[in-house]
Amino acid sequence: MAFYYRKFNPSNLNEVAEIARKNLTERYSDEIFLSIYRRWPEGFILAEDSGKIVGFISGSIENLWTARILMLAVEERYRNAGIGSALLDMFEREARKKNVTNIRLEVRTDNSNAIKFYQKRKYIISDILPRYYSTGDDAYLMIKILE
């Protein structure tokens, strides 16, 4: 399979929101996606297969040194095909263009697949965030120092 990667456009909102709804445990309003996009359009990247959006990553620039991954989701049937890694690589490249030196993200402490995914890509657990999610679940704060 050959995947195509491109920037988010507000016309993609419904497809992206549906992927988030099916693949992420938190629930987000449509306005959240648009707000993320407006803050840093280059940090909102889509993966497509034959014109169908199958994954995305979105984030923000938090300050002069830090970018933050807010969401990363890939449709279940497309997982383990390199899409998540490609999206993460593109996000990191966009962050480097802004001279960011580190990237942070939060992940549920019980999401072992995501934790392993990020650890393989040199993200380290730096803290635990008690009751971080709306369900009361804890999160790990993970950070990667960009080289």
d(CA 107, CA 73): 12
CATH code, residues 4-103: 3.40.630.30
Q: What is the pLDDT of residue 1?
A: 67
pTM: 0.95
- The pLDDT value recorded for residue 2 is 81
Give the separation between CA 10 and CA 62, rounded to whole angstroms: 22
Q: What is the pLDDT of residue 21?
A: 96
Boundaries of every domain in the chain:
4-103
Output the DSSP codes for the chain.
Answer: ---EEEE--GGGHHHHHHHHHHH-SS---HHHHHHHHHH-GGGEEEEEETTEEEEEEEEEE-SSSEEEEEEEEE-GGGTTSSHHHHHHHHHHHHHHHTT--EEEEEEETT-HHHHHHHHHTT-EEEEEETT-STTS--EEEEEEE--
pLDDT in tens, the chain (147 residues): 689 999 999 999 999 999 999 999 999 999 999 999 999 999 999 999 999 999 999 999 999 999 999 999 999 999 999 999 999 999 999 999 999 999 999 999 999 999 999 999 999 999 999 999 999 999 999 999 998
The pLDDT of residue 147 is: 81
- The tokens describing 62, both together, are 């938090």
Rg of the chain (C-alpha set) = 14
Please say whether the beta carbons of 61 and 40 come within 8 A: yes
User: Phi/psi at 129 (nearest 5 deg)?
Assistant: -115, 100
